[in-house]
Amino acid sequence: MLKTVSAIKARQNLGQVMNEVFLKDDEYIVERSGKPLVAIIPIEKYLNMTGRRKEFFRLYDALQGSADNSSSVDDDIAEALAAARR
């Protein structure tokens, strides 16, 4: 369950907040002056998110690397079109 708590209340009740996050899979948004500052989430969810982020950027980098060869692909297409028109 997503809960919102002020920074002061989070500090005063940190042990309880940690227990609820760990034991109940609750998530907290900590606010200061009504503005969200940080999120407290279970470690499993954090590890899952960071793993997916790393995988995303690995795939992105691989696609960028293949895009560097796009000029040779364009040349191959132009050559194939020219051959087909002959």
- At 21-69, the pLDDT tens digits run 999 999 999 999 999 999 999 999 999 999 999 999 989 888 887 766 6
The model carries a pTM of 0.67
How many CB atoms are located within 10 Å of the residue 28 CB?
A: 20
What per-residue confidence (pLDDT) applies to 68?
Answer: 62
- pLDDT at 65 (0 to 100): 75
Sort residue 38 into left (φ over 0), alpha (ψ -120 to 50) or beta. Answer: beta
Domain ranges of the chain: 1-41, 43-86
pLDDT of 16 higher than 90: yes
Query: For 1-41, CATH number?
Result: 3.40.1620.10
What band does 70 get if pLDDT is binned at 50, 70 and 90? low
